[in-house]
Amino acid sequence: MDFSVVVEYFPKLMQGTWVSLQLIALSVVLGGIFALPIALARISKNPLVSGLPFAYIFFFRGTPLLVQIFLVYYGASQFEVVRESFLWPILREPFWCAIIAFTLNTSAYTAEIFRGAIQAIPVGEVEACKVVGMTKVQMYRRILLPRAFGIVLPAYGNEIILMLKGSALASTITILDLTGMARTIIARTYTPIEIFLAAGVIYLAISMVVIAIFKQVEKRQNRYLGPNPVKLPDDV
């Protein structure tokens, strides 16, 4: 094995890493933002409100991420309306197609995590909100969401790691993310082992950073939990 190729192509690998980081960060942030209203709608007792998010979550959790990427990337261009709309400059770009697919996907998972967390809050704590005469909005803003945030952290960190790994699929629609870049380099150098090992190490390093950050935030956030932290239900 000759690791000098890794050194030689290190700048290229870093370029790919940067693209991967952008993909992950953007879709995780956007997905997190969309996840909250989806989760709240999903909790609603009114079937008219909870039906749509249910179907949404069902679809995005039940189909492969790769299929979702292809649907956005190849699917969008099938429609005349799309090609003529102002959105076309965006939907034409593989990068934005990946962002859209990732965001939809991760928002479905994250919504489910939020829902689990909100419903894991002991009913007595909710009743304590009711008896002081909180409105629904006050209840969510002051108690339920901050409380759910603490419960959700471990599962949410996990979702980001999954997204990191899923982001490699972006390379299938010509994006030069870390995996895509690795494949282009290999096509030139024929050194798959060295380059993929290097890519693997970089993915691992990013994962470790994410895990470390979440450990810290969790420690800060959950310092109150004492000996009996709330556990998420298994189906989340």
Partner 1 sequence: MSKVPALELNDIHKTFGDAEVLKGISLKAYDGDVISILGSSGSGKSTFLRCINLLENPTKGEILFNGEKLGLEHGKGPDLYPTDMGQLTRMRQQVGFVFQSFNLWPHMTILENVMEGPLNVLKRPKKEVLEYCEHLLNKVGIADKKHMYPSQLSGGQQQRVAIARTLAMDPQVILFDEPTSALDPELVGEVLGVMRGLADEGRTMLIVTHEMNFAKEVSSEVVFLHQGLVEEKGTPQKVFEAPESERCKAFISSTF
Give me 94's structure tokens: 């593989």
User: Least CB distance from residue 42 to partner 1, whole Å?
Assistant: 21
Q: Out of 47, 228, 234, 235, name the contact with partner 1 by CB under 8 A.
A: 228
138 binds partner 1 (CB under 8 A): yes
CB atoms within 10 A of CB 25: 12
Beta strands in 3-72, from DSSP E residues, in sequence order: none
Nearest-angstrom CA–CA distance, 94 and 45: 39
223 binds partner 1 (CB under 8 A): yes
* Three-state DSSP string of 145-191: HHHHHHHHHHHHHHHHHHHHHHHHHHHHHCCCCHHHHHHHHHHHHCC
47 binds partner 1 (CB under 8 A): no
135 binds partner 1 (CB under 8 A): yes
Closest CA to 203 of 174, 157, 165, 163: 165
Q: Out of 7, 81, 132, 187, name the contact with partner 1 by CB under 8 A.
A: 132
Nearest-angstrom CA–CA distance, 148 and 236: 13
User: Least CB distance from residue 123 to partner 1, whole Å?
Assistant: 9
Residues 142-181 that bind partner 1 (CB under 8 A): 142-143, 146-147, 150
User: Least CB distance from residue 114 to partner 1, whole Å?
Assistant: 16
227 binds partner 1 (CB under 8 A): yes
42 binds partner 1 (CB under 8 A): no
User: Least CB distance from residue 45 to partner 1, whole Å?
Assistant: 11
- Size of the chain, expressed as the number of residues it contains: 236
Which residues, 6+ apart, have CB-to-CB distance to 10 below 8 Å? Answer: 198
Q: Out of 81, 226, 234, 235, name the contact with partner 1 by CB under 8 A.
A: 226
Q: 209 by DSSP, 3-state: which?
A: helix
The answer to whether 180 and 174 have CB atoms below 8 angstroms apart is yes
Please identify, among the stretches 54-62, 81-89, 117-125, 161-169, the one whose residues bind partner 1 according to the rule CB under 8 A.
Answer: 117-125
User: Least CB distance from residue 47 to partner 1, whole Å?
Assistant: 12
Q: Give the residues lining the site for partner 1 (CB under 8 A).
A: 122, 124-125, 127-128, 130-135, 138, 142-143, 146-147, 150, 223-228
